[in-house]
Chains A and B, each alone.
Chain A
Amino acid sequence: MIEAKNVNFYYGNFQALKDISMVMDDHTVTAFIGPSGCGKSTFLRLFNRMNELIANTRLTGECLVNGENIYQKSIDVTELRKKIGMVFQKPNPFPQSIFENVAYGLRVDGVKDKHFIKQRVEESLVSAALWNEVKDKLKKSAFELSGGQQQRLCIARALAISPSIILMDEPASALDPISTSKIEDLIHVLKKDYTIVIVTHNMQQAARVSDKTGFFMLGTLIEYNDTRKMFLNPEKEETQNYITGRFG
């Protein structure tokens, strides 16, 4: 379970998130939607402590994963990031072979058992619905893959270290409809084993893949509701205006 309690977040003097509280249950897909700059990515990055890499930022409130405050001193950030995988908008494979891309996290983790690594790489590629397309060219460079394949490779890389949560920031925004639908199907399958949070600008995608949807505006969580309710009968006027395109 992922939980935010009265979260405020600042870049310098600029407050990017305002008093956000929400709970995301295990084995659900939560989508974040909202206009550009409303704080979706900032909020997502809080949960693997990626924002800390940015200078001059400040957080108040609590971010909890399975009831534990992930910002308390005793937390080991490397361990945390193993539990919480992240997939970015632009596929970012490393300049290595397909195999090594997926094995990367395990190697960093000090795993030496070749057999185990091989098995884990295959499992991850299967889960990411990429295995059949790459099984005969695992030694080839990851850059030889198409954009959609690279994105699934990044998902496989995230899966290899057995996280329990996967954060995705616009994972399909640069992909064609077929690759997009593969990623969406994948999300649907993965939610059996993982808790998934996805940021998307594609309203229909949020409707298709998520159980719950959070609508952000200007750093505020305006509405957080069942996706069905959100797209048939949202509670807030602002949500209705945004999802029907009457915004601004």
Chain B
Amino acid sequence: MKHTEEELIFIKEELSQMWRLVLSQVEKAKQSFLNNDIELAREVASREKRVDSFELKIDSDCENYIALYNPVAIDLRLVLSLIKISSTLERIADFAEGIARYVIEDACKALANDLKEELRVETMFDTVIEMLSDSYVALDSENTRLSGKILSKDETVDEIYHNAVKILANYLRNNPSEIECGLQTILVMRKIERIGDHCSNIVEEIVFYIDAKVLKHSNDHE
């Protein structure tokens, strides 16, 4: 193997580690929100810095790679994707942290569990977690066959979000005292929805790297 190839594999491995960390951040944000677990939420908040430093490290490794090795074709596409994916992962981790902050700042202990269930918050969390881990598999196995499936999950996420807005609006009409809590809940769901969007961006990057096709802004995800 060429030494430049080893370098790329090394950066890819760094991205994998970052990916696993971000996955666990989102997973913990979910648990902390569903169980009002402030302890766990604090852990998420405190680990955010590690995600940031991964992003900085990957960025600088990619910059060096481009400066020293002048990559072209598939190598160039991979480096460009690594830069974009790591910055997207960082933003996903920001959302996870944001969710954790709501829990820490003692949001909605009042929000009844059966309402959370009706809003399908857990399913929404689980769907974006699947998107995130499936896209990890897609990059790791260099296989874009999963891409359509992952992108269609984003539609599920959007659907849950829009339904939740309606359900909450109704609920709050009848329970105006809980308005603050309701707003926080919808803000959390909005963050989950954004995580889904970012997972779609990651899939688009992977398709660009592997198939050299640009899906971005094309709207016709199959």
Q: Which residues of A contact B (CB under 8 A)?
A: 203-204, 207, 230-234, 239-240, 243-246
**Contact partner of B74 among A203, A204, A230, A244, CB < 8 A?**
A244
CB proximity to A under 8 Å, residues B144-186: none
Q: Within the complex, what minimum Cβ distance (angstroms) separates A104 from chain B?
A: 38
* B212 and A232 form a contact (CB under 8 A): yes
Interface on chain A toward B: helix, strand, loop, or mixed SS? helix
Residues of B in contact, count (CB < 8 Å):
12
B60 in the interface (beta carbon within 8 A): no
**27 pairs from A and B in contact (CB 8 Å cutoff):** A204-B70, A207-B72, A230-B73, A231-B73, A231-B76, A232-B72, A232-B73, A232-B76, A232-B77, A232-B212, A233-B73, A233-B77, A233-B212, A234-B73, A239-B73, A240-B73, A240-B74, A243-B72, A243-B73, A244-B71, A244-B72, A244-B73, A244-B74, A245-B2, A245-B4, A246-B2, A246-B5
Q: Which residues of B contact A (CB under 8 A)?
A: 2, 4-5, 70-77, 212
Task: Apart from A230-B73, A233-B73, A246-B5, list 8 A-B contacts with CB within 8 A.
Answer: A204-B70, A207-B72, A231-B72, A243-B73, A244-B71, A244-B72, A244-B74, A246-B2
Q: How far is the CA of A207 from the CA of B2 in the complex (A)?
A: 22
Q: How far is the CA of A207 from the CA of B76 in the complex (A)?
A: 13
Q: Smallest CB-CB separation from A245: which chain B residue?
A: B2
Q: How far is the CA of A204 from the CA of B71 in the complex (A)?
A: 10
Q: Within the complex, what minimum Cβ distance (angstroms) separates B205 from chain A?
A: 15
Q: Smallest CB-CB separation from A235: which chain B residue?
A: B212
Task: Find chain A residues with CB under 8 A from B73 CB.
Answer: 230-234, 239-240, 243-244
Q: Smallest CB-CB separation from B1: which chain A residue?
A: A246
Task: Find chain A residues with CB under 8 A from B75 CB.
Answer: 244
Q: Within the complex, what minimum Cβ distance (angstroms) separates B187 from chain A?
A: 40
Q: How far is the CA of A233 from the CA of B72 in the complex (A)?
A: 8
Q: How far is the CA of A169 from the CA of B110 in the complex (A)?
A: 79
Q: How far is the CA of A239 from the CA of B75 in the complex (A)?
A: 13
Q: How far is the CA of A129 from the CA of B140 in the complex (A)?
A: 51
Interface pairs A-B: 6 shortest CB-CB: A233-B212, A231-B72, A240-B73, A244-B75, A243-B72, A244-B73
Task: Find chain B residues with CB under 8 A from A232 CB.
Answer: 72-73, 76-77, 212
Task: Find chain A residues with CB under 8 A from B76 CB.
Answer: 231-232
Task: Find chain B residues with CB under 8 A from A230 CB.
Answer: 73
Q: How far is the CA of A172 from the CA of B70 in the complex (A)?
A: 19
Q: Within the complex, what minimum Cβ distance (angstroms) separates B3 from chain A?
A: 10
Q: Smallest CB-CB separation from B2: which chain A residue?
A: A245
Q: Smallest CB-CB separation from A240: which chain B residue?
A: B73
Q: How far is the CA of A239 from the CA of B74 in the complex (A)?
A: 11
Q: Within the complex, what minimum Cβ distance (angstroms) separates B5 from chain A?
A: 8
Q: How far is the CA of A233 from the CA of B4 in the complex (A)?
A: 19
